[in-house]
Amino acid sequence: MAVRRLTTPWSEEVVESLRAGGQVLISGVIYGARDAAHKRMVETLERGEALPVDLHGQVIYYVGPTPARPGEVIGSAGPTTSGRMDAYSPTLLAHGLKGMIGKGYRSAEVLQALRRHRAVYLTATGGAGALLARRIRRADVLAYPDLGPEALFRFEVEEFPAIVVNDAHGGDLYAEGRKAYRRVVLA
Amino acid sequence: MRVIPYADVVAAVRRLCLEAAIRLPADVWEALRAARQREQSPLGRRVLDEILENDELAAREAVPMCQDTGTAVVFAELGEDARVEGGLSQAIDEGVRQGYRDAYLRKSIVADPLRRRNTGDNTPAVVHVELVPGDRLRLTLLPKGGGAENMSRATMLAPAQGEAGVRAFVLQTVETAGPNACPPLIVGVGIGGTFDSVGLLAKRALLRPVGERHPDPYYAAMEEDLLEAINGLGLGPMGYGGTVTALDVHIEAAPCHIASLPVAVNLQCHAARVARTEV
């Protein structure tokens, strides 16, 4: 399987070319945000105010890292469960977000929003926090510092490994992969 | 009566927190390597390669293998002829406080489930104390991450549902958890007891080394059957499709009421961290 190298931000053309099951290495800037930062971003948009970052073409990584040791950029930094962000993601996709990186299932509403707004959902290996942290070259708190580990982060990444699970065309690696290897039928 | 100094328990728990976060038990290492050999999906093999590389890196550089360094679940077996000066629970909490601080582990505990203020030091620990003969204190730390814990389930079956009912519930729980629980999993199954005790049985099942069967041949056979069925679900490593969804299934059973058949499934992700010591 060929591995695609992609630099952020992503154009619509890049997103359209990605297919479920594809492996990618992401370089450039991505944003770190989990539950509390998502809630705040959506509340900001609902008030008609501008976000701390223009989301057009951008990618968000769902992560809650361990504290960085002195002299290090970041601690352990694997993906967290994406489903907790489902309530907020359609709004962010409507505001230009093109990619989300996490782990686990997304809701039907998110999958529908991916097709409508031409965006993709990717996953990184859950639990591989030591390995993935090495691909983060720089980490800064961009906004919401009062949220501590749940603040909005700006990361500079180099060849961050991810897999496309849900593409803009309705492709779903979780469904296709399971079907290919399934031997047991549940009652 | 042997008096165990408070400081000894604190130091032991502090060390367990660091050890568990960075180094997997040997049985889990071996199981992951064996899984890499038999996984049929290319993407599944890639995931297992990443996991093995990650875990080696974590141990070598003393960084947490996963950013979710978990709830500190402590199983304490306290000898009936021993007591901990200053209190066992207090000493365990102080050890967790120091361990999570000094090893730069993530503090993931909120003081109240609804108002959600982080305690800032990963305490309180969840402590299960068992009184045993002797004057020693054995401590086992199981740092439990939220991803797999959230996908764990318990139910009260009717006795007539029997073994088939248990089997269906276990498979359904693993299927529903899918990629969210970070497979390959270790599946802890508790059967029997009461509503409150069956969850603890399922968690205790996670302490048994991978590959070790239940001493009762009836449950040993059921474990093997369930393991094969779970791997037949096709979820595979991280749920991308594959032949290794679980590394093992461990069942713990207990006597129960004639009207009841409690069942609990406690899922454990591939970062199956356990550390033990004796004071």
Kindly report, residue by residue over B81-133, the tens digit of the pLDDT.
Answer: 999 999 999 999 999 999 999 999 999 999 999 998 899 999 999 999 999 99
Does residue A23 sit at the B interface (CB-CB below 8 Å)?
A: yes
Enclosing H/E stretch for A107: none
Q: What is the pLDDT of residue A185?
A: 76
For residues B155 and B217, the answer to whether their CB atoms sit within 8 Å is no
What is the phi/psi pair of residue B34, to 5°? -65, -35
Q: What is the mean pLDDT of chain A?
A: 96
Q: Which of B240, B245, B267, B273 to mutate to test the interface with A (most CBs of A within 10 A)?
A: B240
A95 among known catalytic residues: no
Does residue A174 sit at the B interface (CB-CB below 8 Å)?
A: yes
Nearest to B63 among A63, A75, A126 (CB): A75
Answer whether A76 sits within 8 Å of B53, measured CB to CB: no
Q: What is the mean pLDDT of chain B?
A: 98
Cβ contacts of A21 on chain B, cutoff 8 Å:
43, 240
- According to DSSP, residue A63 is labeled B
Q: What is the pLDDT of residue B116?
A: 87
Pairwise CA distance, residues A110 & A90, whole Å? 6
Q: What is the pLDDT of residue A96?
A: 97
Share of chain B above pLDDT 70, in %: 100
Interface of A with B in 153-172 (CB under 8 A): 161, 163, 165
Shortest Cα distance from B1 to chain A (angstroms)? Answer: 41
Answer whether A181 sits within 8 Å of B234, measured CB to CB: yes
3-state secondary structure B116-163: CCECCCCCCCEEEEEEECCCCEEEEEEEECHHHHHCCEEEEECHHHHH
Look at residue B94 and give its three-state secondary structure: helix
- Strand ranges of the sheet holding B275-278, from the earlier edge strand across to the other edge: B126-132, B71-79, B137-144, B275-278
* ipTM exceeding the 0.90 mark: yes
| Angle, CA of A154, A158 and A159, to the nearest 5° | 125
CA A31, B109, B245, B176 torsion: positive or negative? negative
First to last CA, chain B: 15
Between the CA atoms of B102, B107, B111 and B117, what dihedral angle is there, to the nearest 10 degrees? 120
Q: What is the pLDDT of residue A2?
A: 84
Q: How many CB atoms lie within 10 A of CB A5?
A: 9
| Angle, CA of A155, A158 and A164, to the nearest 5° | 90
- According to DSSP, residue B165 is labeled H
For residues B59 and B23, the answer to whether their CB atoms sit within 8 Å is yes
Each residue of B216-261: pLDDT tens digit? 999 999 999 999 999 999 999 999 999 999 999 999 999 999 999 9
Pairwise CA distance, residues B81 & B78, whole Å? 8
Q: Which of B17, B47, B50, B63 to mutate to test the interface with A (most CBs of A within 10 A)?
A: B63
Shortest Cα distance from B183 to chain A (angstroms)? Answer: 9
A184 is written with which tokens?
């047991």
The C-alpha R_g of chain B, in whole angstroms, comes to 19
pLDDT tens, residue order, chain A (187 aa): 689 999 999 999 999 999 999 999 999 999 999 999 999 999 999 999 999 999 999 999 999 999 999 999 999 999 999 999 999 999 999 999 999 999 999 999 999 999 999 999 999 999 999 999 999 999 999 999 988 778 999 999 999 999 999 999 999 999 999 999 999 877 6
Q: Quickly state the pLDDT bin for B196 (edges 50, 70, 90).
A: very high
Q: Rounded to whole angstroms, what are the CA distances from B121 to B86, B100, B152, B154, B192? A: 20, 7, 25, 29, 35
Which residue has tokens 């009652």? A187
Q: What is the pLDDT of residue A184?
A: 81
